[in-house]
A = this chain, B = another copy of it.
Amino acid sequence: MSARSFKTSLRVTWADTDAAQVVHFSNYFRFFEKAEEEFYGALGFSFKDFRSQGLWFPRVEAFCQYKKPAVFNDVLDVEVTVEELRDKSVRLGFTVSNKETGDLLASGYLVIVAVDRQKGRATRMPAEVFEKLKSYAKQVL
């Protein structure tokens, strides 16, 4: 039973905000993906490596629930968990909290599929990637 997670943080920039003076809801998905990229970096691989192997990692589902707003200059903690790991796909969970107050601001997930670019269809992810994600996985299906 694994409870490992990856944590990173970021500071809200002016360009992240909208006229409600809070972070635009679409930007949480960019925060999710940025955290995902850093998670992969920490595991020792990147989208770039996948591409050189003829792999894409497109998102097939994206979801976010918004609890409290973030404003300019807030430092946000983003936590990544591997909610469900399958041979050809992974569901990553994300929470975004205010670093100072600890308040949960948003939570959500991305479902990502390994795709063979040539064939244009889902394929097993590389064994090395699968094994590394597995060490974080709550569920392997």
Interface residues of A (CB under 8 A from B): 11, 13-15, 17-22, 24-27, 29-30, 33-34, 37-38, 41, 46-48, 56, 58-66, 69, 71-73
Contact = CB atoms under 8 A, between A and B. Distances in A.
A47 B72 contact: yes
Contacts of A64: 61-63
Contacts of A69: 58
Interface of A is mostly: mixed
A126 B37 CA distance: 39
Contacts of A66: 58-62
Given A15-B18, A29-B25, A47-B14, A60 B65 contact: yes
